[in-house]
Amino acid sequence: MIAILSDVHSNFAALDAVVKDAQSHGADQYVFLGDAVGYHCEPNECIALLRDVAAISILGNHDAYVLAGGECPRSRSVTATLKHNLALLTDESLRWLASLPRMRNDGDTLFVHGSPLETPEGYLYTVSPATLPPGVRTLFCGHTHVQALGRSSDGRTFCNPGAVGQPRDGDPRAAYALMSGEELVMRRVEYDVDRTIAAMVAAGFPPHHYDNLRHGTQIGGRIDSIGFAEDFS
């Protein structure tokens, strides 16, 4: 049984709950689709747990920003959280981030953070058969923080396991997926949101950085979704 995780974003309480849930369902392998850091304030703890479970991991855009000095070109708010994370990260954690590839192929299965053509930055909010590159039967990606599963009429599969650390689809529970053979099950897990918020308050984060966690939205309150073409179900 393989647990597919994405977008932890330094939210240790959420990651810990997801790993325990996955273990309770028999998971013995883990694949992580990127963004261990950013947004919240326990990056080393999250990286340590991902390493403890020997997660096969790829690089997310927030991970890349931290490695480049912590600047996000689109958001001063995100930059502030990345700079905070960068000040906490140990040399060992930074070396682990720097070792991560931008994508991983396993036969006809492709794991990326964003989109196949523009990873880790590209967002996939609309999915069609053309979204999957030639030769790819199953595409796993994160980045949008929206849990979604679709299969095309010709048997190809798209899966976004959702976000562990900052869901944006209106459901505040941590999200991930379990895979056994060709079977995929989408999971949602309650976690101790108050613990994460308390850590952020203690670290001096303003309320708009964490109020969204109670509602499953982006910072600012937006709820996102992923749409499928007609030949996906």
Query: How confident is the model over 55-107, as pLDDT tens digits?
Result: 999 999 999 999 988 777 777 878 889 999 999 999 999 999 999 999 999 99
Give the residue among 184, 200, 181 at the shortest CA–CA distance from 192: 200
Instruction: Indicate whether 147 belongs to any domain.
Output: yes
Q: Could you tell me the sign of the dihedral formed by the alpha carbons of 104, 106, 110, 113, in that order?
A: negative
Q: DSSP 3-state assignment of 193?
A: helix
Instruction: Indicate whether 15 belongs to any domain.
Output: yes
Which residue range forms the structural domain that includes residue 124?
2-228
Query: How confident is the model over 188-209, as pLDDT tens digits?
Result: 999 999 999 999 999 999 999 9
- Please return the burial class of 83, using the count of CB atoms within 10 Å of its CB with bins 0-12, 13-18 and 19+: middle
Instruction: Indicate whether 42 belongs to any domain.
Output: yes
Instruction: Indicate whether 233 belongs to any domain.
Output: no
Query: How confident is the model over 132-184, as pLDDT tens digits?
Result: 999 999 999 999 999 999 998 888 999 999 999 999 999 999 999 999 988 99
How many domains does the structure of the chain reveal?
Answer: 1
Kindly report the CATH number assigned to the domain that includes residue 131: 3.60.21.10
Angular region, 171: left φ>0, alpha ψ -120 to 50, beta rest: beta
The amino acid sitting at 153 is: S
What is the widest separation between alpha-carbon atoms in the chain?
51
